[in-house]
Amino acid sequence: MSERTKFVILLIVFLLSLGLLALLNSSYGNVLSI
Amino acid sequence: MSVNFRVANNALTALIVVINAYVIAAPLLPQASFWVSQKYGGGQQAVAAQIVDRVAQAPQLTVTGPNKLIIPAMLLDQPIVEGPISQTYANLKKGIWRWPSGSSPDKGGNTVLLGHRFTYDQPKGSLYFMHKLAIGDTIALNWQGKQHIYEVSEIKTVPPDQTDILKPTADSRLTIYTCTPLWKPVDRLVVVAKEVL
């Protein structure tokens, strides 16, 4: 696997991780879940 | 070019590890700090003792400063946030919020307080340690220059749509609630404390 392909995969995983963090934080912060 | 990708890949891998480690560990960080302080510091017990002394010495006496909630069992001593329901999210970000449609300690009835237990941007929410409360624990509420003392009489978990906990009551009580469980906040942990002084 080339370094370029690894970079694309890692970038996707990184963005998914950020998305997960944002999603979890919003679910803890809404009114229903205090 | 390959070297540049390699450096970027290492940096991305490190960031991914850090972010996911935080996602997993953040809910436990306040508990860990509490445990470390208890085991090695001794400071938490001293703080709790001071709060208990203050509560014991000043029931129904005139107090100064902002309206605040004091719960020795949770090492909690925080001001109470006032604000409209339309700004629920902003109010809860500031701390423990008094439900404006509920009563207040000077009027008797059901005074409702709520707060975050955990959020990823503020892992130690105001009510993070609410599970440490037990039946019979003392709660003090400084309200408009007077200290009201309550005793925990009921602890229960209810679904989010069970809104009868907000209803007015004939007796003077405090209803405090937050989300539970810590990892998946689908229910509400409710503590009811009746006024004793």
| Model pLDDT for residues B91-127, shown as the tens digit of each residue | 888 889 999 999 999 998 999 999 988 888 777 788 9
- A29 CA: distance to closest CA in chain B (Å): 7
The first and second tokens of residue A18, run together, are 């950020």
DSSP for B40-64 reads II-HHHHHHHHHHHHHHH-TT-B--
Q: Between A and B, how many CB-CB pairs are < 8 A?
A: 70
Residues of B in Cβ contact (< 8 Å) with A33 = 160, 179, 185-186
Contact A4 B92 (CB under 8 A): no
- B190 CA: distance to closest CA in chain A (Å): 12
Nearest chain B alpha carbon to A10: B12
Nearest chain A alpha carbon to B23: A21
Give the span between the Cα atoms of B33 and B22, in whole angstroms.
15
Strand locations in chain B, DSSP E? 68-71, 76-81, 96-98, 110-114, 138-143, 146-158, 173-180, 187-195
Give B65's DSSP letter: S
**The complex's ipTM?**
0.82
- Interface residue A23 vs chain B (CB under 8 A): no
Q: Is B160 helix (H, G, I), strand (E, B) or coil?
A: coil
B66-95 pLDDT, tens digit each: 899 988 888 888 999 999 988 888 888 888
A5-25 pLDDT, tens digit each: 999 999 999 999 999 888 877
pTM reported for the whole predicted model: 0.77
